[in-house]
């Protein structure tokens, strides 16, 4: 099933704003990453177009779509789930959605994976929160976080580190 061009185009025309960026969720698009998420969060108006099964008539895509985006190298039955991924990731960077400090130190914000997180109790199932985090020494805590971030990235996602670790 391919969505008919006239139906999609009429829907588009009914909500098109001059400042709108139109994104088509497609496995053929550029892969969504943190840089793109942050870039899209600065857009004033986004229209997300989702196909289902075989997608949307190519003539409409050629006429109205500014960019095609994929969430990975696989195919789903439709673009609705990828659109939710896009919305959730982009909305985190829209002012007022999340406290600004909450998005500064997290995975991919500096090209690495985030350091481990801990909370109370100090001891759980015999495992303690690392002493440095209880020390109150913010310089040492920052150093520990950077070291752990690098260690985790090397272990889990070495591809994120330039020159790939062997």
Please write the tens of the pLDDT for every residue from 90-126.
999 988 898 877 777 788 888 899 999 999 999 999 9
Same domain membership, residue 16 and residue 58? yes
- Do 57 and 27 have their domain in common? yes
Nearest to 157 by CA among 117, 118, 102, 111: 111
- Position 95 scores a pLDDT of 87
For position 44, which CATH number holds? 3.40.1280.10
**Considering the domain boundaries, does residue 98 fall inside one?**
no
The confidence score (pLDDT) of residue 163 equals 55
87 in the same domain as 13? yes
166 pLDDT above the threshold of 60 = no
Would you give the DSSP letter of residue 155?
A: H
HSE, side-chain direction, 13 A CA sphere, residue 91: 7
Query: What pTM, to 2 d.p., does this model score?
Result: 0.84
Residue 82, Cα to own-chain centre: how many angstroms? 10
- Are residues 63 and 115 both part of a single domain? no
Confidence band (pLDDT; 50, 70, 90) for 135? very high
Q: What are 52-75's pLDDT values in tens digits?
A: 989 999 999 999 999 999 999 999
The share of the chain scoring above pLDDT 90, in percent, equals: 81
User: What pLDDT sits at residue 164?
Assistant: 43
Same domain membership, residue 12 and residue 53 = yes
pLDDT of 15 higher than 60: yes
> Looking at the 3D structure of the chain, how many domains does it have?
2
Residues whose CB falls within 8 Å of the CB of residue 61, separated by 6 or more in sequence, listed in order = 24, 49, 68
Tell which of 91, 113, 137 closes a domain.
91
Please tell me what DSSP assigns to residue 164: -
Structural contact between residues 70 and 119, judged by C-beta atoms closer than 8 angstroms: no
Range(s) of the domain holding residue 112:
105-160
């Amino acid at each position: 099933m391919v969505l008919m061009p006239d139906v999609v185009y009429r829907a588009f025309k009914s909500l098109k704003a001059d400042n709108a960026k139109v994104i088509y969720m497609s496995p053929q698009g550029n892969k969504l990453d943190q840089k793109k998420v942050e870039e899209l969060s600065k857009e004033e108006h986004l229209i997300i177009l989702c196909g289902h099964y075989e997608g949307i008539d190519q003539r409409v895509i050629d006429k109205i779509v500014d960019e095609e985006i994929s969430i990975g190298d696989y195919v789903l039955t439709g673009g609705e789930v990828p659109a939710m991924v896009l919305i959730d990731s982009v909305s985190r960077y829209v002012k007022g959605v999340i406290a600004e400090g909450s998005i500064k130190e997290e995975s991919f914000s500096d090209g690495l994976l985030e350091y481990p997180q801990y909370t109370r109790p100090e001891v759980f199932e015999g495992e303690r929160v690392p002493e440095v985090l209880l020390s109150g020494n913010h310089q040492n805590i920052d150093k520990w976080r950077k070291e752990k971030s690098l260690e985790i990235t090397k272990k889990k996602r070495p591809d994120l580190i330039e020159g790939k670790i062997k």
